[in-house]
């Protein structure tokens, strides 16, 4: 603890957020299935990469690098706007707590997607180095890059559904709030009519 000042604050913050993300992951009812399924997808991608390693050249690796760069930019933009809703003031305390949990889980998922494509980008570049220089094992680099690419593609397919779930939750509560306001308005007008009728009598 004496030399804690030597560690940059952003690194300490990253460690703190990492611990918080672990808590979010552990709070899920199927965290083990989540980890297991992602590992299976990654292994399948690695197997595909191993079988096709001899056919992969610079052009395919450049395509993987370009795709990874695009998805990384998209994911970061998506994370910036995730959870921002003008309808949050309409939620009750319990609904807000559930909305916050769903948003945190979606952000954790987006972070995993971001890192999958980041690792794909790194290992694709290392694969190019291996092809040109022979300093690294080409097959190993391609297998790892293929595994992360497959994992990232799997996760990016799930991303729109996660975003929809969070926004749909807020919109459903907005509709419920609007329905309550409408019903209250109808009741108020009905009571006014009844009072008017009683006045006539």
Q: Would you state the pLDDT for residue 86?
A: 60
What span, in angstroms and rounded, lies between the C-alpha atoms of 13 and 38?
27
For the entire predicted model, the pTM comes to 0.77
Phi, psi of 8 (to 5 degrees): -55, 145
Which residues lie below 8 Å from residue 71, measured CB to CB, with a gap of 6+? 113, 117, 152, 156
Predicted confidence at residue 2, as pLDDT, reads 57
Distance CA 82, CA 97 (A): 16
14: left (phi over 0), alpha (psi -120 to 50) or beta: alpha
Quote the mean pLDDT of the chain. 81
pLDDT confidence of residue 198: 67
Percent pLDDT > 90 in the chain is: 31
Give me the mean pLDDT over the 138-147 stretch: 93
Q: What is the mean pLDDT of residues 150-161?
A: 90
131-137, long-range: CB < 8 A, 24+ apart: 131/57, 131/58, 131/61
Task: State how far Cα 182 lies from the chain centre.
Answer: 36
SS3 call for 35 = helix
Q: Give 162's contacts (C-beta < 8 A, 6+ positions apart).
A: 106, 109, 110
163-198 pLDDT, tens per residue? Answer: 887 777 777 777 776 776 666 666 777 777 766 666
């Amino acid at each position: 603890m004496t030399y804690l000042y030597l560690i940059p604050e952003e690194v300490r913050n990253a460690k703190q957020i990492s611990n918080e993300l672990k808590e979010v992951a552990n709070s899920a009812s199927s965290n083990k299935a989540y980890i297991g399924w992602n590992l299976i997808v990654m292994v399948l991608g690695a197997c595909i990469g191993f079988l096709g390693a001899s056919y992969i050249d610079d052009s395919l690796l450049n395509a993987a690098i370009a795709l990874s760069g695009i998805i990384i930019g998209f994911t970061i933009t998506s994370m910036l706007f995730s959870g921002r809703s003008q309808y949050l003031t309409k939620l009750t305390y319990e609904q807000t707590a559930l909305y916050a949990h769903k948003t945190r889980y979606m952000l954790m998922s987006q972070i995993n997607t971001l890192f999958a494509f980041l690792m794909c980008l790194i290992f694709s570049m290392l694969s190019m180095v291996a092809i040109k220089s022979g300093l690294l094992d080409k097959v190993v680099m391609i297998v790892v890059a293929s595994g992360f690419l497959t994992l990232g593609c799997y996760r990016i397919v799930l991303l729109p559904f996660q975003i929809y779930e969070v926004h749909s939750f807020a919109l459903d509560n907005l509709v419920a709030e609007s329905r309550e306001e409408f019903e209250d308005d109808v009741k108020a007008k009905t009571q006014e009519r009844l009072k008017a009728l009683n006045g006539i009598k």
